[in-house]
Every structure is written in structure tokens, then in C-alpha cells.
């Protein structure tokens, strides 16, 4: 089942209309909350997918997310900057950190890269916990809500539009990459790094691009996340969170760069809501779900509908 | 710093280092052969600790408990290989994800069955060794000795027929299979071997550190750093860097308290920058 | 009027050791512009290793590889490719899930001049370049005789076409020196002659060719000069007739034949 060419624009427009009017249709606030969180997560997951397709397997996606959240939280609570200033700064700050880190670890081969990402994930949480200036283990509270003039974003509907805007922006950013020569280079590296290098593609350079782009968008998402929940703590951004985020990717379909993350995030946010498991057994349940997905559902939901040929957006 | 304290730090460092060596070597054996990154390896260490603790508390002799704990974890590793890793080992991401999932189950499983409390076990070796002014608890030396023993056994094992088959599979699995060696079996064996080492490390540490459900997490961080710095796949590197890190941690803890991890991280970063492939690492096949 | 023929590629004292085993020792070579130069030798002589070192897939232990006057021996693979040294692969190496057209298109990557930012922003110049690449890809497929297959996935092609595609991709980079690693391996005599004609056509389009081959028919038809490698050392060099008569060459091949490893 493929969306044939001439149906594409109308269906995108239809989706657009639905998305714009959604808050007026859905009255359930909790459902809105889930949708907002899912869309913020999907941004981070898009970054994961971009990296994963270049054999940059990372387990510190949540750390970059957290970096954006903490930069934004810190700048707004301690320095009084508005959300609109914090947002780009969070993105740029995270991107800068990723740039420097990337220079060191991306050349080391994917094994080291993977292991360092796990180390980084742990260290990130530990370091934050020990830094009193950002509230230690208690985190940062009282993060101010975004405001335009006298209008303050409070309702779920308002935040929904913010999240929608940001997610769309990030989707456009990634789409711009994928449709350009950069995206072609990415695909080439994914299919055969040796061949790609032999035609002049600098694998390191293109991996850095994906890495930094993923960090930038994750930072943006983290910033909005912080200003939505108005409270952030170190434990939110550990390795397990990274793992869950990457499972979002797997559930959506790892070769679907933009729709995969979105679908996966929505499914994995919504489904647990309807399955109430007692706290004690929850990690066991989660662990089992992860293993089952890895063993039986690795092609993801979208993989059932469309045979991915790396064109999937 | 007085000489006595220096020696104590050295001994502590060696003790922790020995444990690190066992765990890191176990991981290296599995990774080197099957290229499987088992991120529940640290939890295998935890499992060994709990099995040992449980057995000893039930009155089983410590040496027997040690061996049983190691073997039990080895069997567990073998089962994990068949159920989880064998179908998945070609895909790195899925392997890592599944192993983390398994870790979740293991940790929570222990908490649910053994309760939240730590298991404290009385010392096996009472008494101290006295050299001049310096007193060293024999307990600690026992850990080093056991590690040494295990590594010795591993060394000789690698010289046996099966051991050589294992090494052949590590170097070139296709060539090995042409010689009639079944790679799948070898990977399972490697997994069992690696798990046994982790289990013994956990068991050995119980009288010294107690058994906690979360002990897997810290050790994972450390053994990953060891493997990265030493060069994944190098047993020799794992041993040397393992001891080194034990010493660094010991000295670091003395001067910096719980910030010792930061010192370790800084050193790791520096070493990584100088030698991105690890000190004894093999640069990937081609220059890609 | 004769001038000094400028050597496009000069290899001086190149050696490659693997843990004590010398795969290549003190290898010297000059390849002139627009020449078709062959490298032959019995199995295990080190031909593919030589290719790997020249193209950058394996680091050299010592020596220089001078291309257009510049020593590229320490450069990474993609840098050498950017300078015009491109190789094809002995074992099939394609972008399996992409179509023939897309495979060839990727090869044109080298000709993109627009910077990263321009590409990301899809500026007019980026779009213009994409159009040009598309055009050139179509022309190239035409040239290589692959036009009819352009929508096929690379992994589904029969062996002969896959090999041709491999060379096509390398050619898309507009190399100055094209290194072909056993281009006719596994082909029957008819396919071999087709490939020979294709290679000649490529050379006539201003590409210097260095190739490794076992198939003596192809080598005899293509190569103006041939270097013979044995145990990592060059034992003879010259035209086909010259080396055919060389004692060392006969010994090398004969020795292997008696040994049973030819």
C-alpha cells in the first residue's frame, strides 16, 4: 500500500487540517498531554533514527534532550531569560557540545561510539545530581511558562500548538537534509560505507552533520519540554530513557525517518496508559516488551504497510 | 601520605582492580568472539553476588558457593544466548536494546524475590597478614588470589582444543567454520564463559562489598571504560587497564571521595583522545 | 615532436607489511596519462593489497604514492577519490537497495560544488547542480549500456551487470585514474570481450586505467604495459610480448602451477 504520487499533497493537506483543529476536537486533557509529550519525544527520536542509519548507534539521546532542558531551565530560572531566548540557546548549546564530543568519538568506530554514549548517559545524570547549582537530584523547579506579551501559554491547547510548531520545524529540518545531497550521502553511507568513501564521500563529515543536527533538535525539544512541565530532574534523562526513546524508533520502523518516530512515539505513549501494571512489576513488563519487540517486531509498524526502501519519510 | 596508607591504597586498588579485570575480561571474551555487546553483563555480576550470598547464608561452604554461583550464572548466560542473542546478534542496536531489557528484568526480578535489602555476608577469611607495620586483611588478598586463579584457568583453557577453537572463531569465524567448528556453539560457549567470569567476580566481592540490586550499574560504567580504553577485544588490555583503573579508583576515592568517578572519566577522555581505538585496539578492517 | 611523458601516477618504494609478513616490498611504478596499465601475477602475489594501499583502503608501511605531483600516501580514501583516484571492487560492492540510476547518481557526488549550507537550504545553485547530476547520470548510463536497467534494484541484477554497475559508479566520479580490480572475473568469453571494449571506450574518454587481472586474454587486448607481481615484488614490466618471454615470469607462474596453487 503506497501513497501514490498525486494523492500525496491532498493527504498532507488533510493531515495538516486535522492537526490544526485537533485541540478543538479532543477535550480529554490527559490525551492532549500524551500527544504533546509524544510529539516532543518524536523530535528526539528523529535524531536517533538519523544517527542509527549511519551506524551511529547511540544510547545517550536522552542526555542531549536533558542538556537542552537543563540549559533552558537554568537560563530561565537563574538568568531570567525568556523561553524564546532559551529555546535557540538550548539548541545551539547542545549542538556545540555534540560537535566537540563528536570530533573525539566519531572517528573511533561505532563500537567505541556506542560504549561512550552509554558512559556519557550515566555520567550526565550523575554529574547533574551532584551539581547544586542546578538543584542536584531535586532538579530545577518553577521553570517559567512561555509568554507572548501578556498571553501566557498555560492550557494544553496552547502548548499543543507550540509542540506542533516545533515538531513541524524539526521535521522540516530533517526533510531538508534527507532531500538534499547530504541525504543522498547519508543513504550511500548506510548502504555501503566503503563504496561511499571510494566515490569521495567523507564519512566522518556526514556523520558529524547527523550527530550535530540530532543534538540541535533534541536540545530544542528539551527546552520546550522543560517549559512545559516546568520542572526537570536528572533521573528523567538517563540511559533507560534513551533506550525507551530508541524503542519508539523501532516500533515506528527504523527506516522511516520522520513518520517512524512520530508513529512510534504516539503508540508507545498511548499504549501503556491503557495497561496498568503494578509498580513493582513494571520494569519486568517493560523489559519483556523490549525483548519481544526486538525479537519479533523489529520492522516496526510502518514496516508492515510499506516495504521500506530507504525512501520512507 | 604515610607509607602504610599508601600500601593500603595499593592493596585496595589491586582488589578492586581484580574484580574489574574479571568482569572486563568476561565482557571481552563475549564481545571478541561473537561481537555481542551484552549490556546486562554487569547484572550477571550482580546475579553471581546474590546467588553466592544466598548459598552462603544457607550454610553452603564458601568455596562451593563460589563455584556454584559462577556456574549458575554461566548457565544463565547460555540460556540468554539461545533465547535472546542468537536470533539478534547480527543487529547491534537490537542486541543492545534486548540486553538492556533483560537487565531490567533481572534487577527487578531480584528486588521482587530477594527484597530491597542488601545481602550482607560474614567474612570468610578472618585475620590479617602482617608485614612490618602494615596489616592487610587476608580477605582482600583472597580476592586477588581468586582472580589470579580464574585468569590462570582461562589462560590454560585457551590452550586446550576447545579453547583453540574458540580463539579461531574469534579471529575469523568463516575460516573456523570451514574447519568444522560450529560458530554458533562457540559463541554460546563464549557467552557462558564470560558470564561465569562475571558471576564469580560478583560472588567474590560479596563479603567485601555486600550484594545490592544496583551493583550492576556502577560496574557497567567502569568495565565499559576499561574495554574502550584497552581496545575492545583485547584480553591483555582488559587485564592491565582493569588493574590500572582499580588503582585510580582507590587513590581517587582517598583524595576525592565520591568524585573519584570524575577523575576516572577525565583519564578515560584523555586516553581516548590519544588512542581512539584503545591502547591495544585493532584499527577497524579498513580505514573507514 | 616528443616531450617528456608526464607520469600521472608514480609509486616509489611502496611497501606494506602485516605483522612481519611483507605483502608488498619496494614496489615502484609509473603510470602514464591515458595508458592502460595492467598488474598481473599468480594468486597471493599481493595485487589486491597493492590496490588497497594505492587507493587508501589500507595504510602503507612505507613509500610514496605520487599522483599528479602530489604524494597522497597519507590521505584517507575519500580524499584520494576527490583528487581523481577511484577504484572499483573485486567483490561486488554496490548500494544494494538503490536502483541502478541511484547508484550511478551517487557517484556524481564529487562534482557537487555547493557547500553544505547551500545544499541544506536547497538554494538555486544546489537545485541546478542536482539537475546537472541527473542529466550526467542518464548520459553515463547510456554510455555504459545500462539505461534499460535504470529502475532495477542493484541487488537484483545479474552478476555481469553488477560488475558493470560497479565500474559505472566509479566512472561517475570523473576520475583521472580509474583502478579496476579484476573487471572480468567470473565472465564468459563474450562478456569479457564486451567489457574489454567498454574499458577501451572509457580510456578513449580521457581516463587513465590501472587494472588488476588474471584473465590473460583481457590483459593482452587491453594493456599497453604490464607489471608482474610475485610475492609482493615486481619481477617484470613491459609489453605483453616482453614479459611473456621473461624467465622470471614463467618461473613464477610455473612454480605455482607445479605447486598446485595457480
CA distance B199 to A280: 25
On chain B, the residues whose CB falls within 8 A of the CB of A110 are 92
Question: Which chain B residue lies closest to C74 (C-alpha atoms)?
Answer: B287
Determine the pLDDT at residue B285. Answer: 45
What's the pLDDT band for A92 if we cut at 50, 70, 90? very high
Closest CA of chain B from A77, distance in Å: 27
pLDDT of B174: 72
Q: Would the CB atoms of A200 and C82 count as touching at under 8 Å? A: yes
Q: Is A16 exposed, middle or buried (0-12, 13-18, 19+ CB in 10 A)?
A: exposed
Q: Please tell me the predicted confidence (pLDDT) of residue C87.
A: 93
Three-state DSSP class for C229? Answer: strand
- Which range of A251-265, C122-136, C192-206 scores highest in mean pLDDT? It is C192-206
Of C165 and C123, more confident: C165
Model confidence pLDDT, tens digit, residues B182-217: 777 888 888 999 999 999 999 988 888 878 888 888
Of chain A residues 99-128, which have a CB less than 8 A from chain B?
Answer: 104-105, 107-112, 114-116, 118-119, 122-123, 126-127
Residues of B in contact with C77 (CB under 8 A): 286-288
Cell of C10: 608514480
Q: How far is C257 from chain A (nearest CA, A)?
A: 34
* Residues of chain B found within 8 Å of residue C49, distances taken between Cβ atoms: none
Q: Domain tally for chain A?
A: 1
Q: Which of C109, C133, C154, C174 has the most A C-beta neighbours within 10 Å, making it the best mutation to test the interface with A?
A: C109
High-pLDDT (> 90) share of chain B, %? 27
What is the 8-class DSSP label of residue C214?
S
Q: Is B76 exposed, middle or buried (0-12, 13-18, 19+ CB in 10 A)?
A: buried
Determine the distance from the C-alpha atom of residue C208 to the mean position of all C-alpha atoms in its chain, rounded to a whole number: 9
Residue B168, sorted as left (phi over 0), alpha (psi -120 to 50) or beta, turns out to be alpha
Instruction: Say if residue C34's pLDDT is above 50.
Output: yes
Of C79, C112, C170, the CB nearest to A181: C112
Contacts of A309 in chain C (CB under 8 A): 97, 153
User: What is the DSSP annotation of C63-132?
Assistant: EEEEETTEE-TTS-HHHHHHHTEEE--SS----TTSBHHHHHHHHGGGG--S-HHHHHHT-HHHHHHHHH
User: Which C-chain residues 139-158 have CB contacts (< 8 A) with chain B?
Assistant: none
Highest mean pLDDT among A169-173, B209-213, C21-25: A169-173
Q: Is the pLDDT of residue A278 over 70?
A: no
C228-241 pLDDT tens trace = 998 888 888 988 88
Mutating which of C16, C57, C75, C87 best tests the B interface, going by the most B Cβ atoms within 10 A? C57
Which chain C residues touch A172 with a CB distance below 8 Å?
Answer: none
Mean of pLDDT over chain B: 84
Site from B280, B283, B286 to mutate, C interface, most C CB atoms within 10 angstroms: B286
The per-residue pLDDT for range A126-143, each reduced to its tens digit, is 889 888 888 888 889 889
Query: pLDDT (tens digit, 9 = 90+) per residue, B33-70?
Result: 888 889 899 999 999 999 998 888 888 888 899 999 99
Chain C residue numbers with beta carbons less than 8 Å from the beta carbon of A196 are 106
Q: What percent of chain A is predicted at pLDDT more than 70? A: 92
Structural domain includes residue A304: no
Measured between CB atoms, does B207 come within 8 Å of chain A?
no
In-domain check, residue A308: no
Mean pLDDT of C163-167: 93
Q: What is the helix, strand, coil percentage profile of chain C, to 5?
A: 45, 25, 30
Q: What is the pLDDT of residue B48?
A: 93
From the CA of C239, how many Å to the nearest CA of chain B?
A: 33
Residue of chain A whose Cα is closest to the Cα of C153 = A309
CA–CA gap between residue A224 and residue A158 (Å, rounded) = 12
Distance from the Cα of B288 to chain C's closest Cα (Å) equals 8
| ipTM value | 0.89
SS3 category, C26: strand
Quick: pLDDT tens for A25-42: 878 888 889 889 999 999
- The distance of C59 to chain A (nearest Cα, Å) reads 15
Taking contacts as CB-CB distances below 8 angstroms, the residues of chain A near B97 are: 243, 246-247, 250, 290, 293-294
Topology at the third CATH level for domain C7-259: Rossmann fold (3.40.50)
Q: Which domain holds residue A64?
A: 28-238
Q: Which grid coordinates are listed for B69?
A: 554461583
- Phi, psi of B73, deg, nearest 5: -65, -35
Chains that touch B (3 or more CB pairs under 8 A): A, C
Mean pLDDT to the nearest integer, B234-257: 88
Of chain B, the percentage scoring pLDDT greater than 70 comes to 95
Work out the average pLDDT over A150-157: 87
pLDDT at A213: 96
A209–C169: do the CB atoms touch at under 8 Å?
no
Question: Residue B287 pLDDT more than 50?
Answer: no
On the question of pLDDT at B86 being above 60, the answer is yes
Chains adjacent to C (≥3 CB pairs closer than 8 angstroms)? A, B
Alpha helices in chain B (DSSP H): 3-34, 41-57, 62-80, 86-88, 92-114, 138-157, 161-171, 173-178, 183-209, 215-230, 235-256, 260-274
> In 3-state terms, chain A is what percent helix, strand and coil (to 5)?
80, 5, 20
Residue A2 pLDDT? 42
* Phi, psi dihedrals of residue A47, rounded to the nearest 5°: -65, -40
pLDDT greater at residue B261 or residue C39? C39
Q: How high is the pLDDT of residue A306? A: 65
Average pLDDT, chain C: 88
pLDDT at position B184 is: 79
> Can you spell out the DSSP letters for A273-309?
HH----GGGHHHHHHHHHHHHHHH-TTHHHHHHS---
Cβ within 8 Å, pair B94-A119: no
**Which chains have at least 3 CB atom pairs separated by less than 8 Å from chain A?**
B, C
Does residue B45 contact residue B199 with C-beta atoms inside 8 Å? yes
Q: How confident is the model at residue A3 (pLDDT cuts 50, 70, 90)?
A: very low
* C117 Cβ under 8 Å from any chain A Cβ: no
Contact B286 C59 (CB under 8 A): no
- The DSSP secondary-structure symbol of B118 reads P
Nearest chain B Cα distance for residue C89, angstroms: 14
Q: What is the pLDDT of residues B93-127, one digit of tens each?
A: 888 889 988 998 999 898 888 777 777 777 777 77
The answer to whether the Cβ–Cβ distance between C76 and B287 falls below 8 Å is yes
Residue A252 within a domain:
no
Identify which has the larger pLDDT, A227 or A250.
A227
**The predicted structure's pLDDT at residue B199:** 94
pLDDT at C17 over 70: yes
Amino acid at each position: 500500500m503506497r501513497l501514490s504520487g498525486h494523492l500525496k499533497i491532498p493527504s498532507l493537506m488533510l493531515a495538516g487540517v486535522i492537526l490544526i483543529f485537533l485541540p478543538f476536537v479532543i477535550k480529554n486533557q490527559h490525551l492532549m498531554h500524551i500527544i504533546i509529550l509524544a510529539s516532543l519525544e518524536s523530535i528526539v527520536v528523529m535524531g536517533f533514527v538519523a544517527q542509527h542509519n549511519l551506524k551511529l548507534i547511540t544510547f545517550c539521546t536522552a542526555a542531549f534532550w536533558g542538556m537542552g532542558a537543563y540549559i533552558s531551565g537554568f537560563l530561565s530560572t537563574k538568568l531570567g531569560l525568556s523561553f524564546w531566548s532559551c529555546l535557540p540557546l538550548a539548541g545551539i548549546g547542545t549542538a556545540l557540545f555534540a560537535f566537540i564530543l563528536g570530533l573525539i568519538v566519531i572517528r573511533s568506530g561505532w563500537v567505541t561510539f556506542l560504549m561512550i554514549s552509554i558512559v556519557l548517559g550515566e555520567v550526565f545524570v550523575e554529574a547533574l545530581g551532584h551539581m547544586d547549582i542546578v538543584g542536584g537530584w531535586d532538579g530545577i523547579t518553577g521553570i517559567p511558562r512561555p509568554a507572548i506579551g501578556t498571553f501566557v501559554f498555560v492550557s494544553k491547547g496552547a502548548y499543543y500548538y507550540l509542540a506542533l510548531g516545533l515538531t513541524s520545524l524539526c521535521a522540516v529540518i530533517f526533510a531538508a537534509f534527507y532531500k538534499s545531497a547530504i541525504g543522498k550521502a547519508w543513504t550511500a553511507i548506510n548502504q555501503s560505507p566503503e563504496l561511499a568513501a571510494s566515490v569521495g564521500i567523507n564519512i566522518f563529515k556526514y556523520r558529524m552533520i547527523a550527530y550535530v543536527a540530532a543534538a540541535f533538535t533534541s536540545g530544542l525539544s528539551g527546552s520546550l519540554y522543560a517549559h512545559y512541565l516546568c520542572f526537570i530532574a536528572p533521573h528523567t534523562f538517563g540511559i533507560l530513557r534513551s533506550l525507551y526513546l530508541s524503542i519508539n524508533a523501532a516500533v515506528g520502523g527504523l527506516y522511516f525517518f520522520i513518520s517512524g518516530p512520530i508513529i512510534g512515539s504516539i503508540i508507545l505513549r498511548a499504549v501503556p496508559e491503557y495497561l496498568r501494571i503494578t509498580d513493582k512489576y513494571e520494569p519486568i513488563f517493560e523489559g519483556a516488551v523490549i525483548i519481544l519487540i526486538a525479537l519479533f517486531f523489529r520492522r516496526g509498524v510502518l514496516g508492515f504497510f510499506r516495504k521500506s526502501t530507504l525512501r520512507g519519510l | 601520605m604515610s607509607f602504610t596508607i599508601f600500601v593500603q591504597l595499593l592493596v585496595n586498588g589491586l582488589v578492586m582492580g581484580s574484580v574489574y579485570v574479571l568482569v572486563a575480561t568476561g565482557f571481552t571474551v563475549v564481545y571478541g568472539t561473537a561481537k555481542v555487546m551484552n549490556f546486562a553483563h554487569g547484572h550477571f555480576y550482580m546475579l553471581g553476588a546474590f546467588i553466592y550470598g544466598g548459598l552462603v547464608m544457607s550454610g553452603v561452604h564458601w568455596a562451593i558457593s563460589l563455584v556454584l554461583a559462577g556456574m549458575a550464572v554461566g548457565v544463565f548466560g547460555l540460556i540468554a544466548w539461545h533465547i535472546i542473542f542468537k536470533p539478534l546478534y547480527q543487529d547491534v542496536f537490537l542486541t543492545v536494546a534486548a540486553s538492556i531489557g533483560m537487565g531490567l528484568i533481572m534487577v527487578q526480578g531480584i528486588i521482587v524475590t530477594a527484597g530491597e535489602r542488601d545481602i550482607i555476608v560474614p567474612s570468610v577469611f578472618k585475620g590479617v597478614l602482617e608485614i612490618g607495620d602494615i596489616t592487610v586483611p587476608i580477605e582482600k588478598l583472597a580476592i586477588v588470589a581468586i582472580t589470579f586463579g580464574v585468569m590462570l584457568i582461562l589462560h590454560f583453557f585457551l590452550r586446550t582444543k576447545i579453547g583453540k577453537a574458540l580463539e579461531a572463531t574469534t579471529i575469523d569465524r568463516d575460516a573456523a567454520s570451514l574447519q568444522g567448528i560450529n560458530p554458533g556453539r562457540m559463541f554460546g560457549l563464549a557467552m557462558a564463559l564470560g558470564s561465569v567470569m562475571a558471576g564469580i567476580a560478583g560472588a567474590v566481592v560479596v563479603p567485601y562489598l555486600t550484594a545490592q540490586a544496583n551493583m550492576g550499574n556502577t560496574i557497567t560504567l567502569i568495565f565499559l571504560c576499561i574495554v574502550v580504553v584497552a581496545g575492545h577485544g583485547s584480553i591483555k588490555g582488559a587485564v592491565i587497564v582493569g588493574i590500572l583503573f582499580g588503582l585510580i579508583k582507590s587513590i581517587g576515592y582517598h583524595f576525592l571521595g565520591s568524585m573519584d568517578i570524575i577523575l576516572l572519566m577525565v583519564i578515560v577522555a584523555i586516553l581516548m583522545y590519544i588512542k581512539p581505538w584503545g591502547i591495544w585496539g585493532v584499527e577497524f578492517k579498513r580505514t573507514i | 615532436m616528443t616531450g617528456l611523458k608526464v607520469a600521472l601516477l608514480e609509486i616509489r618504494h611502496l611497501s606494506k607489511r602485516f605483522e612481519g609478513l611483507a605483502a608488498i616490498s619496494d614496489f615502484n611504478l609509473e603510470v602514464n596519462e591515458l595508458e592502460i596499465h595492467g598488474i598481473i601475477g599468480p594468486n597471493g602475489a599481493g595485487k589486491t593489497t597493492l590496490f588497497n594501499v594505492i587507493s587508501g583502503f589500507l595504510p602503507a608501511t612505507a613509500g610514496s604514492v605520487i599522483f599528479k605531483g602530489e604524494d597522497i600516501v597519507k590521505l584517507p580514501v575519500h580524499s584520494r577519490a576527490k583528487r581523481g583516484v577511484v577504484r572499483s571492487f573485486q567483490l561486488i560492492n554496490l548500494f544494494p537497495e538503490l536502483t541502478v540510476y541511484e547508484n550511478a547518481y551517487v557517484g556524481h557526488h564529487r562534482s557537487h560544488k555547493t557547500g553544505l549550507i547551500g545544499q541544506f537550504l536547497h538554494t538555486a545553485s544546489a537545485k541546478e547542480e542536482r539537475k546537472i547530476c541527473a542529466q550526467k547520470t542518464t548520459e553515463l548510463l547510456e554510455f555504459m549500456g545500462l539505461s534499460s536497467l535504470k529502475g532495477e534494484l542493484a541487488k537484483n541484477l545479474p552478476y555481469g551487470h553488477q560488475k558493470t554497475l560497479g565500474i559505472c559508479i566509479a566512472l561517475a566520479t570523473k576520475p583521472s585514474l580509474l583502478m579496476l580490480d579484476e573487471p572480468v572475473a567470473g565472465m564468459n568469453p563474450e562478456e569479457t570481450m564486451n567489457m574489454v571494449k567498454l574499458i577501451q571506450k572509457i580510456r578513449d574518454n580521457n581516463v587513465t586505467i590501472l587494472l588488476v587481472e588474471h584473465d590473460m586474454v583481457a590483459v593482452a587486448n587491453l594493456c599497453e604495459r604490464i607489471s608482474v607481481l610475485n610475492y609482493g615484488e615486481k619481477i617484470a614490466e613491459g609489453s605483453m610480448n616482453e614479459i611473456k618471454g621473461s624467465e622470471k615470469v614463467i618461473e613464477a607462474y610455473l612454480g605455482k602451477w607445479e605447486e598446485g596453487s595457480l
